[in-house]
């Protein structure tokens, strides 16, 4: 098992559309192990394979509370079958956009079909954090980031900051109050 480097914006690989997994073999199992190791080390509650540079439609997740036993979940080739009309907002973060958090409105409930590591087909009716996290991670598989769901003003501010940091080779610091736009524009 290896902890892999997590790609950070503006890395263009984060915009790739990931390929479906054709066969769940030893290579895929090893990749899933590395994804869990990387996700727990970050720490994060979810990870898409493309975040470690592997454009395959695989998600790892663990939504267990801090001191509770681990609840690792793997979603292979996940697809949203249906989504509620009702939306709810949740403050999201992203390991590929460190130290930035913003409210995102998404359908409050989604039905998702996916394969487990044995290739067995499942369907889950997700609500709450599971619904939010599944939609966030499935977005990653399609090259979409949570900042694509916020205002252009805020998105441009985030991208500008990360481009500057990448150019200078600086570590990413939390956003200060004066770096955050205080009003919404389109
Ligand atoms: O996809 C990712 O970048 C992982 C991301 C998942 C996510 C978080 C919140 C809403 C939607 C999707 C994260 O895990 S960010 C880190 C995080 O939320 C967290 C880390 C440690 C403890 C609790 C939460
Ligand atoms: Zn993310």
Phi/psi for 184 (5° steps) reads: -95, 130
CB of 50 within 6 A of ligand 1: the answer is no
User: Where do runs of H (alpha helix) occur along 44-121?
Assistant: none
* Whole-prediction pTM: 0.94
CA–CA gap between residue 58 and residue 77 (Å, rounded) = 6
Per-residue pLDDT 10s for the chain (186 aa) are 899 999 999 999 999 999 999 999 999 999 999 999 999 999 999 999 999 999 999 999 999 999 999 999 999 999 999 999 999 999 999 999 999 999 999 999 999 999 999 999 999 999 999 999 999 999 999 999 999 999 999 999 999 999 998 888 877 777 777 676 654 433
Task: Residue 177: count other Cβ atoms within 10 Å of its Cβ.
Answer: 6
Give 92 Cα–ligand 1 centroid separation in angstroms: 7
Task: Residue 174: count other Cβ atoms within 10 Å of its Cβ.
Answer: 9
- List residues bridging with 60 in a β-sheet: 47, 74
CB of 136 within 6 A of ligand 1: the answer is yes
């Amino acid at each position: 098992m290896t902890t892999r480097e997590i790609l950070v914006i503006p890395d263009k690989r984060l915009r790739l559309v990931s390929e479906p997994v054709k066969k769940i073999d030893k290579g895929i199992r090893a990749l899933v192990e590395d994804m869990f190791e990387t996700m727990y080390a970050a720490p994060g509650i979810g990870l898409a394979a493309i975040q470690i540079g592997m454009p395959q439609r695989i998600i790892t997740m663990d939504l267990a509370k801090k001191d509770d036993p681990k609840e690792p979940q793997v979603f292979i080739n996940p697809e949203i079958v249906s989504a509620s009309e009702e939306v709810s907002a949740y403050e999201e973060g992203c390991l590929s956009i460190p130290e930035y958090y913003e409210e995102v409105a998404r359908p409050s409930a989604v039905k998702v079909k996916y394969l487990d590591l044995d290739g067995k087909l499942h369907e889950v009716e997700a609500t709450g954090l599971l619904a939010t996290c599944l939609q966030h991670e499935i977005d990653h598989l399609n090259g979409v980031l949570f900042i694509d769901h916020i205002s252009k003003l805020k998105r441009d501010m985030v991208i500008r900051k990360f481009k500057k940091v990448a150019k200078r080779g600086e570590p990413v610091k939390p956003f200060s109050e004066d770096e955050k736009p205080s009003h919404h524009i389109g």
